[in-house]
Homo-oligomer: A and B are copies of this chain.
Amino acid sequence: MNKIPVSETVSYLISRIGKAHRNRANELLSSLNLHAGQELLLQQIYQQQGITLNELTCGMCVSAVTVTRTVERLEKNGFLKKERCSSDQRAVRVYLTEKGVAAVETVEQKMWEVLERETVDNLTTEERMLLKRLLMQVLSNLS
């Protein structure tokens, strides 16, 4: 059985695509003064105002430290507000400001839609469905 070079493996493709995809996301987000990663956090708060940092940590597959610091920066830039939870003084709840809400609603069309269109360009509808199915299996494999 011949070994295929690393450069022709699915893993190598994924690492290249992951980088390119993130780069493009950053380009699209820069006009909103956001960085890749922040938009996911804002979207979570949008779906549940008053969510705690701990709940954010779980929902984003990211470490608690990263959440703490990203929230800190987003608060400094006026996208959200922190508030100590009254029933559990350990927990911190976060709420989007008007600016934060506007940002989330803009990210949808300024980033996700553009990114998706570019990503699946030149693929037929069937190929897109298929790709989605295969990627869901890959994600499941790696989780």
CB within 8 Å of B: which residues of A?
6, 8-22, 24-25, 36, 43, 61, 108, 112, 115-116, 118-123, 127-128, 130-132, 134-143
Contact = CB atoms under 8 A, between A and B. Distances in A.
A17 B139 contact: yes
Contacts of A139: 13, 16-17, 20
B137 A118 contact: no
Which among A25, A43, A61, A131 has the greatest number of chain B C-beta atoms within 10 A? Answer: A131
A60 to B, nearest CB: 10
Query: How often does this chain occur in the complex, in copies?
Result: 2
Nearest to A120: B10
B108 A137 contact: no
